[in-house]
Amino acid sequence: MILTVTLNMALDVTYEVPSVDWDGVNRVGAVHRRAGGKGVNVARVLATFGRDVLVTGLVGGPTGRAIEDDLEAAGLRAALCRIAGGSRTTLAVCETAGTPTTPGRQEAPTPHEGAGGRRTALFNEPGPHVTPDELAGFVRRYTSLAREADVVVLSGSLPRGVPADIYATLAGIPDAPVIVDADGDPLRHAPKGRPSVVKPNAEELARAFPGSGGAQELRSQGAEAVVVSMGADGLLAVTGEGTFRARMPYTVVGNPTGAGDALVAGLAMDQARSWPDRLRTAAALGAAAVAAPVAGAFDRDVYADIHPQIVIT
């Protein structure tokens, strides 16, 4: 069983609009609402591959009930801890103008703009306040669940009241491999729990460890391996078996929200595989997730096309 942990769960709302008029009225073409947070997105991708996955985390208030209902409707097993504070909502506004009919080979977009001017803006609420007693109750529940897990994924932002070193604490509990996907102080603290993999993106790594050598620094502090996602430039993995680079054959244009979560799902699957095989699957899933309209989904056709073309050096 793969256990995914999302302490700052959310109800993800995605608006699809032709283009955004920031000074006028915008007509939304399509609306998607579903349970989210990075660990939930990871679980959705794993479930698509038929993996046995269990979602845990913190939920509260009416939004928390909506999250629970959506997880049940999606057929995702969950063991959640309720808190007094209300869970957050996140909003992604995705422009659809210029979107290709079929995702595929496109010229590389600028950092904030896709082919034809397509852009995505994210609005993430901070989340509820968690009391010490609520956090202690979750840690007890997590400890029991983690002992039954084959792999544990700890990912996403932290709600208020949760200490920045919580991922280090949680990573040190199970004997199973632990993957941590975090930013800021939680990322800096994570190696203390000796996780199997720490997965920042390039910007997160640069913020946490200015200058070069951030991946090596994470390893020197206790992480067994560090996998850095670099968008269209692929992946860099610094491991005990050596350093690997996964290079993408072309850029996929779409909604990047959830691409890193799909990538983490690829890393969580089949731990016995070689690093090149794991990285190829992870990179292909990340690219295929960009072609899907909502986080937690991926385009199977893009995945099948791009997977064999990824070059590992």
Kindly state the average pLDDT of the residues 192-204.
96
> Mind telling me the catalytic residues?
261
pLDDT at 271: 85
CATH number of the domain encompassing residue 58: 3.40.1190.20
Of the ranges 12-16, 84-88, 298-302, which one carries the lowest mean pLDDT score? 12-16
Number of structural domains, the chain? 1
In a domain, 212, yes or no: yes
pLDDT value at residue 113 = 36
Amino acid identity for residue 282 in this structure: A
189 part of a folded domain: yes
| 115 within a domain of the structure (yes/no) | no
- pLDDT exceeds cutoff 90 at 202: yes
pLDDT of 57 reads 98
Cα separation, 184 vs 7, in Å, equals: 16
**Residue 207, in any domain of the structure:** yes
Q: What pLDDT sits at residue 119?
A: 83
The tens digit of pLDDT for each residue in 146-164 reads 999 999 999 999 999 999 9
pLDDT confidence of residue 102: 42
Mean pLDDT score, 305-311: 97
107, part of any domain: no
Residue-number span of the structural domain to which 143 is assigned: 2-10+36-87+129-312
Is 111 within a domain? no
Give me the chain's average pLDDT, please.
91
Instruction: Please name the residue that has the structure tokens 């057929």.
Output: 75
pLDDT of residue 289: 96
Task: Tell me the per-residue pLDDT of 90-120, one tens digit each, with 9 for 90 and over.
Answer: 998 988 875 443 444 443 333 333 334 468 8
Whether 268 is covered by a domain: the verdict is yes
What pLDDT score was predicted for residue 175? Answer: 94
- The answer, yes or no, to whether residue 187 has pLDDT greater than 60, is yes
pLDDT in tens, 222-261: 999 999 999 889 999 999 999 999 999 999 988 888 899 9
Q: Is residue 28 part of a domain?
A: no
